[in-house]
Amino acid sequence: MSTINEKKFLEDLQSLIAIKSTRDIAAATDGAPFGPGPREALDKMLELGARDGFRTKNLQGYAGYIEYGPEDAEDYIAVLGHVDVVPATGNWAHDPFSVHLEDGTLYGRGVIDDKGPTMAAYYALKSVKESGTALKHRIRLVIGTDEESGCDCMVKYNELEPMSLFGFAPDAEFPLIFAEKGRIFARIDVPAAFEETALRLKQFYSGERVNMVPDQAYAVLSGAAAEQAVEEAKHLLAAQNIDFTAEKIGADWKLTVKGQSAHGSEPAGGVNAAFLLAGALLDLSFAAEEKAYLAFLGQTLQGDFDGKNLGIAFQDDVSGKLTVNAGLSRYESGKGGSVSLDIRCPIKAVLKDTAATLAASVEALGFSIGDQDINKPLYVDPKHPGVQILKHVYEKNMGQNDVKLLTSGGGTYAQYLDAGVAFGACMPDYPYTGHQVDEHVRLSDLLLASDIYADAIRELGNMEK
């Protein structure tokens, strides 16, 4: 049975989940570089830390930390959590910004990614403090605010603070992830159509974050043939049992389809609404550039989660296959369009070569690469003493021996450490539901994770260099 005070844990978690901490750059200010929500969530965690007697520091609103251990210790162990969340799109059974407990399961945006695990790590730190365990190193719970949209918070953190001796991110799965794929974020730009046709793609819109499989997409059709085109598309969608709505807006028609969200690192686990909608529209009589845009979504990318059609498919014996998620799709008549891709590249992939091949492939289609960002993969030797400590702690708490360590397509803050891994909090026998509608986790799993983290903090806090 967990030693964590369940009632207080839930109260503090509820106070954090209630904050709509999605990135909002339009509302950014000095001290709130990612908008008011992420800053409020950071403040809440630092408030809890001050309440419980920890040292705390706000790092210009980008990040902050809660620290325990000998203040004069040269080194510290980092525990890296984030309090920003992806948007709560789709139809939730319960308010996504209120913790709902039903049959031992917690529901809410962030309960597993990553407010719940961050709170579990915080309560672990409280447990260590209350036990009076002697530590050689400082333990620093780092609170980030921009993990879901690029990790600029960790870039700033590393500018302002020294590197940790070792660390872990409670933002993935147990038993432990020692390798994470590299990532390429690329926006594919598509030219506008200026040909006068009876049917025009006035607008296409899908997705809110590049690292989510979009669960909704809509297109606005205009022109004399728009109504007939919508009827044809409706027939195709109905024949495939795809959930859709159609409505007349002035002289135009708007067609909306529903898919199923999933984490961008596992695009095959969701149903990309942009693909469904583009597939229903691509045989209609649009202008050539509009047809090319729809074909890119509905044919080139549709179902091609490993990048074969783009010429970038690759796999290795450490981290498996490359994956491609089309997270954001935009098109506006007269301005052109874009598709933003989240590409997770195996450890052994040469990222610059993958990016060059991608550019050549899209240029052959008449498109171009717009914004692009390349992040290196994470790999820590499984024999590293910090990894071995975490492996031992997990095995001891779970009553297991010689567990198999993992690799992942997901990216965590561990990539911003010289030596760090992802460690929980999702248990092996439970599905990971981050970024999904009705995100959920067992309460008992979070409490168990907190106990595991407490043991890990005690041992890492006395780790030999």
Residue 423 has pLDDT above 80, yes or no: yes
pLDDT band for position 194 (cuts 50, 70, 90): confident
Residue 205 has pLDDT above 90, yes or no: yes
**Which tens digits make up the pLDDT trace of 355-393?**
999 999 999 999 999 999 998 999 999 999 999 999 999
Q: Give yes or no: 84 in active site.
A: yes
Tell me, what's the pLDDT at 193?
Answer: 87
Tell me, what's the pLDDT at 322?
Answer: 97
Q: Give yes or no: 342 in active site.
A: no
Tell me, what's the pLDDT at 196?
Answer: 86
**Which tens digits make up the pLDDT trace of 36-60?**
999 999 999 999 999 999 999 999 9
- pTM score, whole prediction: 0.84
Q: CATH second-level architecture of 6-181+378-460?
A: 3-Layer(aba) Sandwich (3.40)
Residue 2 has pLDDT above 90, yes or no: no
Using CA atoms, how far apart are residues 104 and 417, in angstroms rounded to an integer?
Answer: 35
Tell me, what's the pLDDT at 111?
Answer: 98
Q: Give the active site residue among 12, 113, 146, 147.
A: 147
Residue 305 has pLDDT above 70, yes or no: yes
DSSP-assigned letters across all residues of 39-83: HHHHHHHHHHHHHTT-EEEEETTTEEEEEES-TT-S-EEEEEEE-
Residue 367, both tokens: 């498109």
Q: End-to-end CA distance of the chain, in Å?
A: 33
Q: Give the active site residue among 84, 113, 148, 289.
A: 84
Count of helix runs (H) and strand runs (E) in the chain: 10, 24
pLDDT band for position 260 (cuts 50, 70, 90): very high
Task: Give, in order, the Cα–Cα distances in Å from 175 to each of 42, 136, 403, 427.
Answer: 28, 25, 7, 8
Domain range annotation of the chain: 6-181+378-460, 183-375
Residue 90 has pLDDT above 70, yes or no: yes
**Which tens digits make up the pLDDT trace of 138-191?**
999 999 999 998 899 999 999 999 999 999 999 999 999 999 999 999 999 999
The percent of residues above 90 in pLDDT, for the chain, comes to 95
Q: Where are the beta strands (DSSP E) in 126-223?
A: 138-144, 166-169, 172-173, 177-180, 182-190, 200-206, 216-222
Tell me, what's the pLDDT at 4?
Answer: 84
Tell me, what's the pLDDT at 221?
Answer: 97
Tell me, what's the pLDDT at 410?
Answer: 81
Tell me, what's the pLDDT at 1?
Answer: 58
Over residues 103-111, mean pLDDT: 98
Residue 41, both tokens: 């969530």
Q: CATH second-level architecture of 183-375?
A: 2-Layer Sandwich (3.30)
Using CA atoms, how far apart are residues 415 and 168, in angstroms rounded to an integer?
Answer: 10
Average pLDDT, the chain: 96
Tell me, what's the pLDDT at 465?
Answer: 85
Using CA atoms, how far apart are residues 197 and 200, in angstroms rounded to an integer?
Answer: 7
Question: Are the C-beta atoms of residues 287 and 197 closer than 8 Å to each other?
Answer: yes
Residue 407 has pLDDT above 80, yes or no: yes
Three-class SS of 395-408: HHHHCCCCCCCEEE
Q: Is the peptide bond before 72 cis (omega within 30 degrees of 0)?
A: no
